[in-house]
Amino acid sequence: MRTAVERWRLVLGRFAGQKLGDVLSPSDLDRDAALAFLYDREYAERGLSLGGDRGAGSEATRLRALDWLKRAEELFPNAALEVLRDDAIARYALNDLLRDPRLLADLAPSPTLLRAVLSFRDRGDPTLRAEIRAIAQKIVNQLMRRLRVRFDRTFSGRHARHSRSRLRIAANFDARRTIRANLAGYDPERKRLMIAELHFMARQKRHLDWTIILCVDQSGSMTDSVIFAALMAAILTGMPGVRVKMVLFDVAIVDVTDHLDDPLSLLLSMQLGGGTDIGKAVSYCEGLVETPTRTVLALISDFMEGGSPRRLLAAVARLREARVRMLGLAALDDTGRADYDRDMAGRLASVGMNVAALTPEAFADWLAKVLQ
């Protein structure tokens, strides 16, 4: 609980520190910096210089806007965050970030940029909303292209050792066959094998016959994971022999399986926030399993259970007993790092769920091994 002095220090801003002293904790200092980024613009508009590059119109400030939004999402509860977003647009015109094609062209497509675009989707006039959707679609398309290359390469097939390939690349090199075919050329004095002919393997197309169930926590801390889950669901849906089902949850459950071919519409419809009932969601997914030994359940969550832990653990244990392959993803983003409930993660692992925090590329590699 903050003292009255600490609350007034946050309300009045950093200049009040000269009178009130160093009363803020490190986390509150981070909140103070985030508030200053937005509200110090009042000083600039009145012609007052704060030094540095805090000016409301500076290019440096605009380039930091995405970082500011991401940090604000981490520091403030939803109610306060809504006020900050509204002020960012209505009072300080940070929507210029979304309107300036030159600035957007300089920013690499990323979940951070997409999250910022999506967070402003219901604000502004209809023209701005149309621009936001167009920008979001462009980012989704670019991210999809990046991921599809990895998924196509990973899932393209296994080597067929008994078929010869005309595609002579290192990935298809058959070392054992090459050695056997050239044993007559071994030089015992020099202890070298003289290679007269190289052999390569063909690649067989793999026909997959699996159901992949993505059970995705849509609480506010999981935004990047939801974005990547939607993109990967769309990619996996296009693969032969793979059936994908996807469920979003907080305290409620939304089955979005019928909308996986349009990840942007799916992301635009999600409602982040609220509580978390993981056990309820996993129990629902249990009812989606038809052939347990050919089913993969990927639970994407921070494992901060707001419902019954006993219900969650019992559902995972039943799925494991039925031989469903399960992976708990504490994060599915570009970093592969996550803040999650390690105690619950350990308990899930003890009843049969493999738990990890992965990048999308690492998740693709894991799925390829599971589906062999």
In whole angstroms, what is the distance from residue 245 CA to residue 288 CA? 8
∠ Cα 214 229 133 (to 5°):
135
Contact 94, 100 (CB under 8 A): no
What pLDDT was estimated at residue 329? 93
- DSSP assigned state of 220: G
Q: Copy the structure tokens of residue 18.
A: 């000269």
Contact 109, 139 (CB under 8 A): yes
Residue 331 CB partners (closer than 8 Å, separation 6+)? 224, 225, 337, 338, 340, 357, 358
Of 293, 286, 292, 295, give the one whose Cα is nearest residue 253. 286
What pLDDT was estimated at residue 354? 93
In whole angstroms, what is the distance from residue 95 CA to residue 90 CA? 9
Alpha carbon dihedral 88, 93, 95, 99, in 10-degree steps, equals -170
Each residue's pLDDT expressed in tens, for the chain with a length of 372 residues: 678 877 777 777 766 766 677 778 888 888 888 888 888 777 666 665 555 444 333 433 443 666 777 788 888 887 788 788 777 766 666 665 566 555 555 566 777 778 777 776 666 556 667 777 777 888 888 888 888 888 887 776 544 444 444 445 565 667 777 777 777 777 787 778 777 777 666 555 555 589 999 999 988 778 888 899 999 999 998 888 889 999 999 999 999 999 998 999 888 887 766 689 999 999 999 999 999 999 999 999 999 999 999 999 999 999 999 999 999 999 887 777 788 999 999 999 999 999 999 888 888 888 888 887
Is pTM, for the whole model, over 0.75?
A: no
What pLDDT was estimated at residue 10? 79
Query: If phi over 0 gives left and psi between -120 and 50 gives alpha, with beta otherwise, what is residue 159?
Result: beta
> For the chain, where are the E strands, in sequence order?
158-164, 186-187, 192-193, 201-204, 210-217, 242-249, 253-255, 295-300, 325-332, 354-358
What pLDDT was estimated at residue 104? 56
Q: Residue 195: what are its φ and ψ, rounded to 5°?
A: -90, 120
Of 70, 147, 65, give the one whose Cα is nearest residue 106. 65
SS3 309: helix
In whole angstroms, what is the distance from residue 148 CA to residue 155 CA? 10
Residue found by looking up tokens 């210089």 in the block: 49
Residue found by looking up tokens 């992976």 in the block: 327
Amino acid letter for position 237: T
In whole angstroms, what is the distance from residue 301 CA to residue 209 CA? 26
Q: Measuring CA to CA, how many Å separate 164 from each of 175, 180, 205? A: 13, 15, 14
Domains and their CATH numbers in the chain? 4-90 (no CATH), 170-203 (no CATH), 210-370 (3.40.50.410)
What pLDDT was estimated at residue 210? 92
> Rg (Cα) of the chain, in Å, rounded?
26
- DSSP letters of 98-143? HH-HHHHHHSPP-HHHHHHHHHTTTSS-HHHHHHHHHHHHHHHHHH
In whole angstroms, what is the distance from residue 205 CA to residue 123 CA? 47
What pLDDT was estimated at residue 50? 55
In whole angstroms, what is the distance from residue 311 CA to residue 37 CA? 44
What pLDDT was estimated at residue 268? 84
